[in-house]
Amino acid sequence: GLGKKSAIKSLVNAPMIAMLLDHMNYLFYDNVTFLNYVGRIAFPIFAWQIAVGFEKTRDAKLYAFRLLILALISQPLFILYFGELLNGYVFNTIFTLLLGLLCLFAINKSDKIGLGVTIVSCIVAQYLHFDYGAFGIIMIVIFYLFRKNYGLMMVAQAINLISYNFMHPNSIEMYSFVAILLILL
């Protein structure tokens, strides 16, 4: 069977491959295809990696700084590549991951500060059109808060996904629940 290191390595590589397939779909096709469904596993795994990374890193500020640099470098490429497909989204997914990480900093300081920062971050993510918006911020926070209780994590993520689908009918984001199941494994 797969050893623990092998399984972790697969989970680290899986979102990059899924994201690549999803983005290739936009390059070659004008509509949603199977590749987009596969691509839905990328963000939840990246969100989970942010929560786990925050807990395990020796230098969370450096972790956030590196995300900021990556977000800034990738933003022009994001706009260039997805320009007409953005549907109003302005900031790439890495900015969403960074904002979610900042929520984790606040939660780590105090529950009240964390709640306030998370609410403000969700509003900012929605208003400034971060990729995945408030849904992405909440996903990161849920992974962090319930990192030791997979049952509650799964229920909370299911509620988050159902809420997103309720606000965005016919969304393919429900397929990202597959990633949550992979994380639980």
Angle 153-136-72 from CA coordinates, rounded to 5°:
135
Give residue-wise pLDDT tens across range 171-185: 777 777 778 888 877
Give residue-wise pLDDT tens across range 67-86: 999 999 988 887 877 665 55
- Tell me the angle at which helices 60-82 and 42-56 cross, rounded to the nearest 10 degrees: 160
Report the C-alpha gap between 52 and 20 in whole angstroms.
23
* Predicted structure pTM score: 0.82
Q: Is 91 helix (H, G, I), strand (E, B) or coil?
A: strand
Report the C-alpha gap between 54 and 158 in whole angstroms.
23
State how far the alpha carbon of 45 is from the alpha carbons of 3, 8, 13, 97, 101, in Å: 19, 11, 10, 11, 14
pLDDT at 32: 65
- Interacting residues of 121 by C-beta distance below 8 A, sequence separation 6+: 99, 100, 102, 103, 134, 137
